[in-house]
Structure 1
Amino acid sequence: MTVEKDLSKSVIFPVGSKITNDFFIGDAYLDMIIPEPTASTGAAGNVTFAPGARNNWHVHEIGQTLLVTGGEGWYQEEGKVAEKLVAGDVKVIPAGVNHWHGATSNSWFVHIAIAPGSTTWNGPVDDEQYADAEAGKIVMENK
């Protein structure tokens, strides 16, 4: 099945282009809704994760807000248990918090990410860390 067919009933914004950088594991897609950051909003993008896909650990200079629009995903701060996110959830991430987010192993996950400042990318969430997060264990970034 194609991404478009799988998500045709749940997407608000286009799926966008496949992300090809080294900051994501698995298939993830991005459609920039606000491509040029403004003083009031920052940049905003619709991010679509295939099942099991996730981004690396990262920190936002000013913070980030996730508006979940479809599927089921994980949000995890370093040293804490992962939180399951579903459509309608809003996650406000404070500045300076090392975290990652992505899809559960059996669901697509779609969110709008709003980030007004810069992002510092850290190491990947490897398969063992991801499995631990899904099992409800506390995970720390490998340093």
Structure 2
Amino acid sequence: MAKHEEVKNGIIFPVGEKNEGFAKYFVGQSYLQTLVADPSVPVGVGNVTFEPGCRNNWHIHRDGYQILLVTGGEGWYQEEGKAAQFLKAGDVVVTRDGVKHWHGAAKDSWFEHIAITAGKPEWLEPVTDEHYDKL
């Protein structure tokens, strides 16, 4: 059994549906529950849940930023050129405009975070298994 399997039941916010709209930008299965999608508010807020081993592609937020509020499980965050950062519930990550990065679950754990995002994402290459397996 994977660690933190209770995350898949939505500890704080609903897990949402399979993240089909962004599936091509992920390795593995993720789920998305939109929490704020008001056109008059200049940020999007969503609950993103990752199955064990799931991670998103490298990406950059243009003309904006992203704040991750980790609400459950264990995962990783990495900026290009820096060491990967282990994440657990209660951690907060701020990604500034133009910074290439990725985030996702640990190999053996579900992972969940609230993503507060402004600007437009530029999706890049996947995080390879070779890179990920070294964590």
Give the TM-score normalised by the residue count of structure 2.
0.88
Shift of 1:44: 0.6
Map residues 37-48 of structure 1 onto 2, 5 A cutoff: 37=39, 38-39=41-42, 42-48=43-49
Unaligned runs of 5+ in 2: none
2-side partners of 1:28 and 1:12: how far apart?
A: 17
Preserved contact between residue 56 and residue 103 of structure 2 (Cα < 8 Å):
yes
CA distance in 1: counterparts of 2:83 and 2:104, whole angstroms:
14
> Aligned with 2:24: secondary structure?
coil
Identical residues among aligned pairs (%) = 54
- Who is 1:30 aligned against? 32
| Matches for 1:120-135 after TM superposition, within 5 Å | 120-132=122-134, 134=135
* Amino acid across the alignment from 1:51: P
Counterpart in 2 of 1:90?
A: 92
CA contact (8 A) 1:10 1:70 kept: no
**Higher RCO (CA 8 Å, separation ≥ 6 residues):** 2
Tell me how large the CA RMSD over aligned residues is.
1.7
- SS of corresponding position for 2:47: strand
User: In 2, Cα distance between the equivalents of 1:112 and 1:84?
Assistant: 16
Q: How many residues align?
A: 128
- Give the Cα separation in 2 of the matches to 1:125 and 1:7: 23
**How far is the alpha carbon of 1:27 from its aligned partner?**
1.1
Contact 1:102 1:109 in 2 (8 A): yes
Residue 79 to residue 112, structure 1, CA distance change in 2 (3 Å): same
Where does the alignment leave 5 or more consecutive residues of structure 1 unmatched? 135-143
User: Which SS does the other structure have where 1:116 is aligned?
Assistant: strand
What is the one-letter code of the residue matched to 1:125? Answer: V
What letter matches 2:59 in structure 1?
H
CA contact (8 A) 2:7 2:112 kept: no
Query: Does 2:60 align with 1:59?
Result: yes
